[in-house]
Amino acid sequence: MGVLRGVGQGMRCAAVMFAVALSMRVPAGAAALLPSVADAEYGWSKATGRATITGRLAVRTPDGRTMAKNGADVLLLPYSTRTRLYLARTAQQLAARTVQDGVTTPELDPDLAPYARRMRSAGDGSFRFANVPQGTWVVRGRLSVAFPRTVFVGVPAAVDVNGQALAGTEMRRALVFDYTFAWFDSDPVTVRDDQTRDVALHLVARIDRTDPHR
């Protein structure tokens, strides 16, 4: 009898423990409520702060002019080891590109994207991120500019009634456009509360697309 009583008590204890375990199960979808690794790393960057980060995007064209553009893409990214690895990896991808590969910017790391701040530059290429919380940040920008160039094109001096060229050509002026696509990164910059920092951008990669009329 003592043995049976002990077995019965053990079964009741196991049943209670099983019920407790069931009550502690995480419901479907609750995993999204738990802080992620990205939140632990970047969560601070979503706060509204009082710091400001400024800078300017501009590129030197092949003929020596410095040009900027209204509406250039600018990203402000919270800085960490993950950010540094993303920037290094995509900088290598951009540096290896040619005109045939296209001129789009690599997609952001999906864990980093929700914490990025985006804006467009002003007409002189300047940008200003306000209400930034204190911490360490890095800027990436993409600039595309078109610049005119005058060339001389040989055209028939005269044509017959059928549009066929007659003997001789003459040189005429023509306006063509070349394009430069450039990507820039800044060094990491640390801002304190209510501080304004201006960042210098260095060229990561560029693609020059030249009109075939040289």
Average pLDDT of adjacent 10-residue blocks, the chain of 214 residues:
45 43 38 61 95 94 81 95 92 76 73 94 96 97 83 65 64 77 94 95 86 52
Beta-carbon count within 10 A of 52 CB: 16
Instruction: Specify the pLDDT at position 65.
Output: 78
Instruction: Specify the pLDDT at position 98.
Output: 65
C-beta of residue 75 within 8 angstroms of C-beta of residue 112: no
Class (C level, CATH) for 37-143+181-204: mainly beta
C-beta of residue 170 within 8 angstroms of C-beta of residue 151: no
C-beta of residue 77 within 8 angstroms of C-beta of residue 112: yes
Amino acid in position 103: V
